[in-house]
Amino acid sequence: MHTQEERIGLLLTLIGDITRFGLPAPDHPLTATHPIVSNTVLHYLAHNRLSWKPDVRSVSEHEVTFIDGSVEQIDLIVLATGYDIEIPFLADGLVTYRNGRPRTHLSTFFPDLENFYSVGIMHTNDNGYQNFDEFAQLIVADIRATLYGQNAEAVDRLKHDYHPDMVGDLPLVATRRNENQWNAAEMRRVLQEIETEFDIPIPRWFDQDFYRGQLRGLETTESSETNLSSPARS
């Protein structure tokens, strides 16, 4: 698996200097805010079908004035930030929010709401889908602890006493969308601690045997529970 530094180096090599597309040079370190995920933005910028503009100063009936003093005739403004996360199917008050994000513990557990979980609410400067798989193991561990008492004391400590720093020295941009942004380096450290200190297995990249082993462990646990609860036969 490539290190984060190697992946950043590859990204810089592939994309190059973004100012050649008419974009401003970043005023913050790479990974200090969540990136735009698109494979078409640079294409349309390069073909003059999309242009960059700075922040908006004012809006009139048909014109938009930007902070650099430029004015454009605009027909339509689309508000499509998509930064806030809501869980509208839950009753009001069950989940608390901060800066448009549900407040969670380890992006998995909800304070004062047992047996309800989330996956993927956090953002990281890393491979998101792999991260979702890794933190889903905390859900598995909690369900096993609830149903079978397996590793229950360690899982309880994880949920109530373990509060790691998920940002570290990453100089995040002070913006609303970074409320749930994590530093991949700190996240990797935390995942290792979860595995070693709380005995919760975490899958490695391309580990094809991980889930096979987990299923065998679950079958063994269920078999033991069945034997313990079966009535004695004469």
> Would you list the DSSP string of the chain?
---HHHHHHHHHHHH--GGGGTPPPPSS-TTSSPPP--SSHHHHHHTTSS-----EEEE-SSEEEETTS-EEE-S------------TTSPTTSS-EETTEE--BTTTEETTEEEEE-SS-SEESS-HHHHHHHHHHHHHHHHHHHHH-TTHHHHHHHHHT----SSTT-----SGGGTTEE-HHHHHHHHHHHHHHS----PPTT-TTHHHHHHHHHHHHHHHHHHHHSPP--
pLDDT, one tens digit per residue, over 145-197 is 999 999 999 999 999 999 999 999 888 888 888 888 898 889 999 999 999 99
For residue 214, pLDDT beyond 60: yes
* Residue type for position 104: T
Report pLDDT for 53: 92
* Residue type for position 165: D
Report pLDDT for 200: 97
Q: Where are the domains of the chain?
A: 53-80, 97-207
Instruction: Give the pTM.
Output: 0.75
Report pLDDT for 15: 84
Q: At what angle do helices 210-229 and 128-148 cross, to 10 degrees?
A: 10
